[in-house]
Amino acid sequence: MEYRIREAHAEDWRRLRELRLAALADPLAPVAFNERYEVAAGKPPSFWRGRAGQARNGRPITTLAAELPDGSWAGMLVVFVEDGEAHVVAVYLRPEHRGDGLAERLFDTAQAWAWARTDVVRMRLDVHQGNPRAEAFYRRYGFARTGASKPDPNDASALEWEMVLERPPPAAQGR
């Protein structure tokens, strides 16, 4: 499949909204996202324009979109920099685009974006204990559990595990 990985911009808000709502309607949404469909669906266009923009709250942030030739989005990844870490906070691929290398391409682009910032020493994400497919992908990509965890904000009986990918030494970069 042909994808163009690019940063989202404010004018992409309709595509971002549509894909985010598709993500939240996915059967895995309860273990993949802390946001609920009903809440997101009720947000005004101004919210989505702001979310599609590249910077919020004075920190570097990007939404990477996997765009198909027809302009629709097959997937996305959201990452922001805070305290020397590039924190991946949302990853979603439409089911028909899973398993064909798109996730790797999104993570490669996010990693390049993160490593371009000299203050970033690692990439970090949280994965729900009930999402083994996502954890397996993150491990294959090079992320490792840190041993830290926190309760799922929507289900205190479940955990989210922290995983990190350390920045390689300068000679080893370029994955």
Domain span at residue 65 reads 4-172
CA angle 104, 106, 111 (to 5 degrees): 90
Query: CA-CA distance, 71 to 87, in Å (whole number)?
Result: 27
Looking up residue 47, the CATH number of its domain turns out to be 3.40.630.30
Pairing of strands 55-56, 144-152: unpaired
The total number of structural domains in the chain stands at 1
Q: Give this prediction's pTM.
A: 0.91
Q: What are the pLDDT tens digits along the chain (175 aa)?
A: 899 999 999 899 999 999 999 999 998 777 788 888 999 999 999 999 888 876 655 668 899 999 999 999 999 999 999 999 999 999 999 999 999 999 999 999 999 999 999 999 999 999 999 999 999 999 999 999 999 999 988 888 999 999 999 999 877 655 5
Query: CA-CA distance, 4 to 80, in Å (whole number)?
Result: 21
